[in-house]
A and B are shown apart, each in its own frame.
Chain A
Amino acid sequence: MSEHIVATEAPAVAARGVWATVRRRPLFWTSLAALGVLLVVAAFPGPIAALLGQPDPRACDLSLSGQPPGDGHPFGTDIQGCDVLANVLFGTRTSLFIGLTTTALCLLVALVLGTVAGYFGGPADRVIARLTDVFLGFPFLLGAIVVLNSAPERTPLLVAVVLAFFSWPTLARLVRGSVRSVREAEFVQAAHALGFSHGRIVLGHVLPNSLGPVLAIATTMVGGVIVAESTLTFLGVGLVQPTISWGLQLSTAQTYFQTAPHTLIFPSLFLTVTVVSLIMLGDILRDALDPKGRS
């Protein structure tokens, strides 16, 4: 993520400033390391699970139902006798997939609509502003529940698209504000004076200079999306078997919390570490990018 931001931040001075601020923060490195580990887990859940015990999350032994952590099952087994660790590792992939896909989709919509609204202003701005108002007008969880409840087959991709459908407006507003603040900048006026086309000004000058804060918030948003997915799944309108996800594990674990608390603790632990790292990283980037240093 950081490389990405550095790459898009066109003026070299600004990029160096951010890097210099960020690299002195221990929390930056902690969250980056945690996310790195989680990405590796998401990429190779099988081999890692094999190293630590049970490689197959679907190889379940009912006679070993609800075992506490012990030999062969470092995180114990769930109520069906499946290895909790293997499930948690495979769930990482699903959660990160949904978090990243949703955020990428939102970012795409937000960049297009936010730039049009912020750069051109006028009627387009008013229409887009009302549209975001309408979407922000009702609780996001509600909209997702209504749509997902009628969906025939709830795959991770579908859940990601539905989440994106209801969460783009916040980012779009941010892009709009960010674009508006650089629209009147002197270097943009200079570009106009040189006779550059709107496309060239937007892509080459306006966007690179307004993207920083947006990407910082987007990082935080990945965490929010992951929590939203697990909440929807917990309510029974999110992911369904045979998908493996933290939300599904937690929703089953709730029923058996008293007899097998470890089935609730380990998935929540992974979930929380992931989300905390994403929020921290987003916060640190935002602090570094915002000259006022507000948080």
Chain B
Amino acid sequence: MTRFLSRRLVELVVVFLGVTFIVYAMVFTLPGDPIAALGGDRPLPENVVAQLRAEYHLDLPLWQQYLHYLGGVLTGDLGTTFTGRPVSEAMASRWPVTITLALSAWALEMIVGVLLGLAAGLRRGSILDRGVLLGTVLATSIPVFVLGVSAQLVFGLELGWFPIAGTSEGWPASYVLPAAIVALYGLSSVSRLMRGSVADTMRSDFVRTLVAKGMPRHDIVGVHVMRNSAAPVLTFLAIELGYLLGGTVVIEGIFNLPGIGQLLFESIRTHEGPTVVGVTTALIVVFLVTSVLVDVLSSLIDPRIRHE
């Protein structure tokens, strides 16, 4: 276990360095001068530009800029926006929105996905099974913004059940529509995985033995099949949570939820380099930590995974 964990941690550091460097390089070497853009229509005086460049280390070669940045990150400093605010402060007010959205969507995804997958997997080839398969394919084929806009129109404007934008009505009213739409996409994967896993387990030898012993079907399914099919689904769900916490740019945009995804999108549009890099770094840390936790958890649940 220690060896497995230390290898995972080394990998994590490598991936962290790689991803942050790529994002840093992308943001700061692509065309578009953020300092020049600060001045708007009137060009800034030479000495101000030079001072700003020095302040943000933009006058150094890229690798030195990156090292400066990395040093900051390691001491807990995610950088400063071009307007002088710390990036972590800009993020602080956004986290609650994204976390609420992510957790609501995740819970929906887990409950509905597992139930649908279980039902479909137990009766492969039935109408329910076909319905679930078709439904999940359809759901993933409609772009998220089409669903978002349609839901706003139907449930927000026509029926007036939920607010169509903003977080003013708080949880749950403001989060029901966006969370349901986000969940719909993950739900397809969860139910398909669960379906396959359940179907495999039902065919396994130990289930046949249980049937032969005369164990009631609901005990077989409830106790043995559920536990044995859970591992892959749990892994997926944990990774999915990492993704969801990264904020869903599109849905936050459509429903005007002031979350992390929206902050990121706004900063990309306004060439707010330090914010883009800072937010991305934070997201990558969340994502990587989740994935290591997933590995540890799944190796605890199923010892066979450890040695792969």
Q: Does B23 contact A (CB under 8 A)?
A: yes
Quick one: closest B residue to A280, CB to CB?
A: B137
B146, A250: Cβ atoms closer than 8 Å: yes
Chain B contacts for A138, CB-based, 8 A = 19, 23, 280, 283-284, 287
A130, B146: Cβ atoms closer than 8 Å: no
Instruction: Say whether, besides A146-B26, A235-B249, A235-B250, A268 and B157 are in contact (CB < 8 Å).
Output: no
B18, A130: Cβ atoms closer than 8 Å: yes
Q: Which of B27-35, B58-66, B87-95 contacts A (4 or more CB under 8 A)?
A: B27-35
A264, B149: Cβ atoms closer than 8 Å: yes
CA distance in complex: A143, B24 (Å): 11
A133, B243: Cβ atoms closer than 8 Å: no
Task: Count A-B contacts at CB 8 Å.
Answer: 115
Chain B facing A: main interface SS:
helix
B268, A146: Cβ atoms closer than 8 Å: yes
Interface residues of A in 241-262 (CB under 8 A from B): 250, 254, 257-258, 261
B14, A130: Cβ atoms closer than 8 Å: yes
CA distance in complex: A230, B138 (Å): 16
Instruction: Say whether, besides A268-B142, A279-B137, A283-B137, A146 and B284 are in contact (CB < 8 Å).
Output: no
A223, B141: Cβ atoms closer than 8 Å: yes
Q: How far is the CB of A139 from chain B (nearest CB, A)?
A: 6
Task: List 20 additional contacts besides A139-B243, A268-B143, A268-B146; criterion CB under 8 Å.
Answer: A130-B18, A134-B14, A134-B22, A137-B18, A138-B284, A139-B283, A146-B26, A146-B27, A146-B30, A227-B141, A230-B143, A231-B143, A234-B143, A235-B253, A235-B265, A257-B149, A271-B141, A276-B137, A276-B141, A295-B195
A231, B145: Cβ atoms closer than 8 Å: yes
CA distance in complex: A280, B134 (Å): 9
CA distance in complex: A143, B27 (Å): 10
CA distance in complex: A271, B30 (Å): 32
Quick one: closest B residue to A236, CB to CB?
A: B269
Q: How far is the CB of A159 from chain B (nearest CB, A)?
A: 15
Interface residues of B in 258-287 (CB under 8 A from A): 264-265, 268-269, 271, 276, 280, 283-284, 287
Chain B contacts for A261, CB-based, 8 A = 153
CA distance in complex: A258, B18 (Å): 46
B141, A275: Cβ atoms closer than 8 Å: yes
A294, B284: Cβ atoms closer than 8 Å: no
Chain A contacts for B200, CB-based, 8 A = 294
CA distance in complex: A237, B265 (Å): 10
Q: Does A145 contact B (CB under 8 A)?
A: yes
B15, A130: Cβ atoms closer than 8 Å: yes
**What does the 1/0 interface line of B127-165 toward A look like (CB < 8 Å)?**
000000100011011111110011001000100000000
A227, B143: Cβ atoms closer than 8 Å: yes
Q: Does B246 contact A (CB under 8 A)?
A: yes
CA distance in complex: A264, B145 (Å): 11
Closest 10 CB pairs between A and B?
Answer: A134-B18, A150-B30, A275-B141, A137-B19, A276-B141, A268-B146, A133-B15, A234-B145, A294-B196, A150-B32
Interface residues of A (CB under 8 A from B): 130-131, 133-134, 137-139, 141-143, 145-147, 149-150, 152, 223, 227, 230-231, 234-237, 250, 254, 257-258, 261, 264, 268, 271-272, 275-276, 279-280, 283, 294-295
Q: How far is the CB of A225 from chain B (nearest CB, A)?
A: 12
Chain B contacts for A257, CB-based, 8 A = 149, 153
A258, B250: Cβ atoms closer than 8 Å: no
A142, B264: Cβ atoms closer than 8 Å: yes
Q: Does B288 contact A (CB under 8 A)?
A: yes
Chain A contacts for B243, CB-based, 8 A = 139
Quick one: closest A residue to B146, CB to CB?
A: A268
Chain A contacts for B288, CB-based, 8 A = 137
Quick one: closest A residue to B196, CB to CB?
A: A294
Q: Does B11 contact A (CB under 8 A)?
A: yes
30 A–B contact pairs at CB < 8 A?
Answer: A130-B11, A130-B14, A130-B15, A130-B18, A134-B15, A134-B22, A137-B15, A137-B18, A138-B284, A139-B243, A142-B249, A143-B23, A145-B249, A146-B23, A149-B268, A149-B271, A150-B30, A227-B143, A230-B143, A231-B143, A235-B249, A235-B265, A250-B145, A258-B157, A272-B141, A275-B141, A276-B137, A280-B137, A294-B199, A295-B133
Quick one: closest B residue to A131, CB to CB?
A: B18
**What does the 1/0 interface line of B75-94 toward A look like (CB < 8 Å)?**
00000000000000000000
**What does the 1/0 interface line of B171-214 toward A look like (CB < 8 Å)?**
00000000000000000000010011001100000000000000
Contact pick for B141, options A131, A139, A279, CB 8 Å: A279
